[in-house]
Amino acid sequence: MKKAAIIGAGIAGIGTAIHLANKGYQVEVFEANSYAGGKLSEFWKDGFRYDAGPSLFTLPERVEELILKSGKKVEDYFSYKRLDTINKYFWEDGTKLEASADIEEFARQLEKEIGEPKENVLKFLKNSKEKYDLTADLFLTRSLHKAETFFNKTALKAVSQIWKLELFKTMNQANNSKFEKDKTVQLFNRYATYNGSSPYVAPALLNVIPHLEFNKGAFLPTGGMFDITKSLVKLGQDLGVIYHFNKKVEEILIDKTQNKITGIRVKDSKTENSVNQKTENLDFDVVVSNMDIVHTYKKLLPQEKAPEFLLQQQKSSSALIFYWGMNAEYKELDLHNIFFTKEYRKEFNALFNGKTLYEDPTIYIFVSSKHIKTDAPKGCENWFVMINAPHNRNDGSQDWDTLIKKAKKDIIKKLERILMRNVEENIISESILDPRKIELRTSSLGGSLYGNSSNNRYAAFLRHANFSKTKGLYFCGGSVHPGGGIPLALSSAKIVGEMIENA
């Protein structure tokens, strides 16, 4: 039986482990942390449960597919529900909008509250679906670094209708041409942040993203987002996957004479500062790195020539998150809530050009206790309060402690101004996650959430391939093709699984 090592128990690593176990491999996953999931993890504090990272769930079929292809029943591992309201939007002038999951109702809401003609919204969502249908199979299920990807019926169909993809427009340019109202443009420009990019630079092709929420649906796992991790880890273990926690991979071992991997060098993370560190070399036929691609080369492949052009592409944004236990309930809020800035362009300019936080940030609040009552004590709520942040430059130019302190004040003032309710006095518990901690916990360069940004029309082609010139070495996760986010990470796992099977 061939042996495969997965470096990192992020969602892509977990998915890859399942694919390989189903193909007959003996699979072992090595995770430096004491828990699985990477960004898709959870924690408890003072009686409040928080999903630590991703909070929006789309394309549940990606999870179901793994379960069904493993010969198991979905209901034995995973359950979720479709949301009736996708988001609640708030603006400074008092405008509020409930984004219904019913497309017709959502279009009516935009027309009533903002004045955007209903037909503009319906046409946009139809075009979003067309973009997805033309590109999904090409970009999300195949390697862009293999010639055969571009010589098939799917690719020819996409090329024949390439004008629909608006490849030479930015997202903002495309949205300005489709909508009459600035608030509608801002609402749909926000989807650039789903892969850590700016709508004023990122290509209009990213307008496929709204299709996932509105046409295909937004969902919430029954026990919260961490249920995705727990379900897939259990599935893998039932298939024989072995998880090693607190095991840090130090190096990927390569036989230079045969240009193939031979295994990995690992050490016990718990003995990081101990004189009795236990380090060992382990033999494997296949190694898949779920670690950020930059750190994979810089730390695990020090003897290999790194593809510097790809690694030096602009990184995606990061996040500053306040986890607040609130000693009150806010009927004004739903599960997902957005409080927009007045000056969206200035916010992205601060993030990507100024490398700093904007003074009037767009605020996202996720309150899982709205649906999962056990996530907060009775009469309380668990707030996941996030603003976009630049990635950490690691050069001392960003005074994060000062930035965080000011951001908290700015966020509270903005929320109290718009909600017309006290917020600060109801915060009874707090944890903070900033780009430095994100990098430390997940090995993502500078805490960038999605690897490279998409602030380039060629961004899809500037992600590292899922394979290597070194035999037996592969890559999965948000920093490589096809990109970040739960659905894309699971897509990368599937691509890698098929590559290894066909190698």
Q: Please tell me the pTM assigned to this model.
A: 0.94
| CA 261 to the chain's CA centroid | 29
Which top CATH class is 3-34+246-313+460-502? Answer: alpha beta
Q: What is the rounded distance in angstroms from the CA atom of residue 81 to the CA atom of residue 87?
A: 15
Q: What is the pLDDT of residues 307-363, one digit of tens each?
A: 888 788 889 999 999 999 999 999 999 999 999 999 999 999 999 999 999 999 999
105-215 folds as Guanine Nucleotide Dissociation Inhibitor; domain 1 (1.10.405)
Which pLDDT value is given to residue 348?
A: 98
Is the fold of 3-34+246-313+460-502 the same as that of 39-101+217-222+317-449? no
Rounded to a whole number of angstroms, the distance between the first and last alpha carbons of the chain is 16
Distance CA 492, CA 138 (A): 13
CA gap 239, 251 in Å, rounded: 27
Domain borders along the chain are 3-34+246-313+460-502, 39-101+217-222+317-449, 105-215
Q: Which residues of the chain have pLDDT under 70?
A: 138, 140, 142-165, 271-276, 460-461
User: What's the CA gap between 290 and 295, in Å, rounded?
Assistant: 10
DSSP 198-233: -TTTSBGGGGGHHHHHHTS--EEETT-THHHHHHHH
Does residue 14 contact residue 233 with C-beta atoms inside 8 Å? yes
Task: Answer whether 225's CB lies under 8 Å from 4's CB.
Answer: no
| C-beta separation of 212 from 486 below 8 A | no
pLDDT digits (tens, 9 = 90+) for 232-276: 999 999 999 999 999 999 999 999 999 999 999 999 877 555 556
CB-side exposure of 396: number of CA atoms within 13 Å? 0
Q: What tokens appear for 306 in the block? A: 């790194």
CB 140 within 8 A of CB 491: yes
The CATH architecture of the domain made up of 39-101+217-222+317-449 is Alpha-Beta Complex (3.90)
The confidence score (pLDDT) of residue 93 equals 97
SS3 category, 350: helix
Give the per-residue pLDDT at 135. Answer: 81
Cβ atoms of 415 and 361 within 8 Å: the answer is: no
